[in-house]
Amino acid sequence: MSECAAVGTPWTDERLVFPNADGTLRSAINVRRSFRAHLSKAGFTEPHRWTPREIRTSFVSLLSDQGIPIAVIARVVCHSGTNVTEKVYRK
């Protein structure tokens, strides 16, 4: 049973990555708060120093360091082409 069904709230499918329990838009502050709570549970000693963007950048850097082709990395991170991936992540 979904969390929404448990509280009797209808689910709104907005296809969001980090929705509230009812499927609606979550504020950026609440995304960061949840993100840092997960970092704390994962053992990060200073979760307040991390942002979702830094994790994404680290992920792309690790893929690049392992020799993953730029076209594959661009597709994985949902870039429309390789230009952004090249300019932003492979400085």
String of DSSP letters for 30-79? HHHHHHHHHHHHTT-S-GGG--HHHHHHHHHHHHHHTT--HHHHHHHTT-
Q: Which domain holds residue 21?
A: 1-49
Indicate whether 36 and 69 sit together in one domain: no
Domain count, the chain: 2
Indicate whether 89 and 63 sit together in one domain: yes
Indicate whether 45 and 56 sit together in one domain: no
Indicate whether 67 and 81 sit together in one domain: yes
Indicate whether 45 and 55 sit together in one domain: no
Instruction: State the pTM of this model.
Output: 0.60
Indicate whether 77 and 39 sit together in one domain: no
8-56 pLDDT, tens digit each: 566 566 677 778 877 888 888 988 998 999 999 999 999 999 988 888 8
